[in-house]
Amino acid sequence: MSRSIHASDFNKMPTWFKAINRTWKFTYPLGTKIKLNKDELINSARKETGLHDLGPDFWDEPLEKLIYSINEEANLHPIGRFISRKRLIGLLVTRLQAEWWFRKEPGILEQDLYPVLMIAGLQRTGTTKLQRLLSCDPDIRSVLSWEALNPAPPVKGIDRRIRFAKTSEQALKYMAPGFFAIHPVEHQAQEEDILLLDVSFMSTTPEATMQVPAYAAWLEQTDQSLAYAYGAKLLKLLQWQRSAKYWVLKSPHHLEFFNLIDQHYGDVYYLWTHRDLVSCVPSFLSMLAHGQAIFSDTVDINGISEHWMKKTRYMLDQAISFRKKTLKKERFIDIHYDHFIGHSIETIRSVYSKAGMNLDKAVADLMISSEKKNHKGKYGTHHYHASDFGLNEDGIRNHYQNYTKFLEELN
């Protein structure tokens, strides 16, 4: 039976989930009530790996800022605190292991990064569908979910990264059964490369999953070149493990940082997806509310709306500014959601043509097959309205006037 998920369902967590949180609030298992501490997290990662070197370009201030916000602002429930602690240790483990491989195999960093098809657009504008279709081409490499979680192979022992990601997928299904109807997170499917930026503790992932306003404000005023430079290193580590001819990457986060992508990612085409804001904004806000309920039982709908309406406008303004200034305007390929949904292969063919690539029939057939397999509503239907977040259509359109004007100029 198809699951029907509404924006207002975000706080309807499973009974067992709520029971565990109630119980853990009065106990201290696994450090769920203890504040996170930078030195303890780093020491735990070093103990787990037997490695010590986090690399010459490791900067601990982003981690410190994030820990402060998690401890003082996020109001995490015990399960959310447990997940956050494990994730932070996991990122440090990745960094330790990546540095070990960079030292052992210097040829990794001597590689040229493959040409990049960079998908960037507001959330819920068809970015996942576009990435999955392009990834059907054997010549095009994406970051799979299990790779995004653990891009560096273990330096010893059995490689259990796929098993770990599968367990994480199952855990998410148990904790938030309806989340997959909003945004599927399948361990063998394509994932956002923003998770590679997490290894430097500089990305919008934390503010999407938790209330961390102090960290978010600090991040917006901070040069994030180190994160993108290290993200490029991790991409080289991944292509060293599995080769191809091109990368297809995607994240709405990149809208804010086209300048850093241009600086660190080499040969890039920007695939900018567009959709009616009245549809994509409430859909995204609903996804955030459902996601944050996995970490906290005090999800603030109004706070999410206020923060992310402001944030997404800023992201769009940064992207527009870069595009108007760059001398590489031919590197931008605009993809409009309604046309893409109705004419997917025609849209893909246009992307290939503009990027100087050739789409042959065999690859197009693979894309058609994938589209049927990953059809809309595969995990259920997602219902949302602007009013769920105290918004209305006119208010949304007025808020994004600069972007609306930009789209009119494109046409």
Q: Tens place of pLDDT for every residue, the chain, 411 residues?
A: 357 777 777 777 777 777 888 777 666 554 455 689 999 999 999 999 999 999 999 999 999 999 999 999 999 998 899 999 999 999 999 999 999 999 999 999 999 999 999 999 999 899 999 999 999 999 999 999 999 999 999 998 899 999 988 998 888 877 877 777 777 778 888 999 999 999 999 999 999 999 999 999 999 999 999 999 999 999 999 999 999 999 999 999 999 999 999 999 999 999 999 999 998 999 899 889 988 988 998 999 999 999 999 999 999 999 999 999 998 999 999 999 999 999 999 999 999 999 999 999 999 999 999 988 877 767 778 888 889 899 999 999 999 999 999 999 887
The CATH number linked to 88 is 3.40.50.300
Q: Which residues of 140-155 are buried (b: 16+ CB within 10 A; e: fewer)?
A: bbbbbbbbbbbbbeee
pLDDT of residue 31: 46
Cβ distance 79 to 210 under 8 Å?
no
Cβ distance 142 to 249 under 8 Å?
yes
Cβ distance 95 to 103 under 8 Å?
no
Q: Which domain holds residue 274?
A: 4-410
Reported residue count of the chain is 411
Separation of alpha carbons 164 and 172, rounded Å: 12
Q: How many CA atoms lie within 13 A of 270 on its CB side?
A: 25
User: CA 374 → CA 19, 136, 187, 285, distances in Å?
Assistant: 34, 12, 14, 23
* φ/ψ (deg, to 5) at 140: -110, 125
| Domains contained in the chain, number | 1
For residue 152, give the amino acid letter: A
Residue 14: DSSP 8-state:
-
User: CA 411 → CA 144, 342, 406, 408, distances in Å?
Assistant: 35, 19, 9, 5
Q: Are strands 381-383 and 332-336 parallel, antiparallel or unpaired?
A: unpaired
Q: How far apart are the first and last CA of the chain?
A: 42
Structure token pair of residue 285? 């806000």
User: CA 351 → CA 11, 135, 179, distances in Å?
Assistant: 40, 13, 30
